[in-house]
Amino acid sequence: MNGAQPRVAIVTGANRGLGRATAVALAARDIRVVLTYRGDADEAERVVQEIQDAGGEAIAERLDLGDKSSFDAFRAGVLRRVDERWGRSDVDVLVNNAGVGVFGALESVSVDDFDTVVGTNLRGTFFLIQAFAPHIADGGRIINVSTSLTRHVSAGTSIYSASKSAVESLARSLAVELGPRGIRVNSIAPGPTATDFNGGAMRDDPELRRTLARSTALGRVGEPREIADAIVALASDGLRWVTAERIEVSGGSQL
């Protein structure tokens, strides 16, 4: 794609959880990583240090995906630092991992809840792609992180699941728009995974883990690295003929 130039990836929400695992896994494949965080700069810098200690290269930039007005400055800052650090005027991979989840029964969901989830997961993702699309190298990749909940149902997940279904539709449409430039756009749909998402319930609650494990073909919940490995595969040349797809990584959840 870029000859001898280093490949560069942006991973949103990479200070913890799936984003952190993805940033570390990409860096291990000799990809330079711009990782974003919203609130905990120290946490993000620990991920940068972890990558550097393993021989990789990374930088951290603050991004609030719910604040579209900040995107122009964020883009300018990222492109400036990428140029200064790695001599690139563009990037190769954009992983849209950052998102929020608000869960509750129909009658408990407020307008603010709805606006927060849709405004971050869908609106934020859409406009971040819009901001960076001109700066993604031809032949690049955009990978949206969705959820297995767009296939099977669970009570209290309506607005979260709906926002992620929209993100999957967005990926399919943009695959057509950006296809002439060789840019592949796909969605990864994780199943139950032991992260700190939703208060770390799937990571820290043994009974919940056992319940969710019984609903998977492989008999356990996933680990962040397993989702990250699937994202890395989509970012590689090995799946270069895959675009406009939803790839579920759930251990056979709720079959």
Q: Could you tell me how many residues make up the chain?
A: 255
- Burial level of 50, CB count in 10 A (0-12/13-18/19+)? middle
Give residue 249's identity as a one-letter amino acid code. V
Which of 183, 84, 59, 82 lies closest to 129, judged by CA?
183
The catalytic residue among 160, 163, 186, 232 is: 160
Residue type, 127: F
Q: Could you tell me which residues are beta bridge partners of residue 246?
A: 187
Kindly report the backbone phi and psi dihedral angles of residue 46, in degrees, each rounded to the nearest multiple of 5, phi listed first: -65, -35
User: 246, 245, 193: which is closest to 224 by C-alpha?
Assistant: 193
**Is 37 an active-site residue?**
no
CB of 28 closer than 8 Å to CB of 58: no
Phi-psi region of 252 (alpha: psi -120 to 50; beta: other; left: phi over 0): left
* Cα(157)–Cα(171) distance, integer angstroms: 21
Residues annotated as catalytic are 160
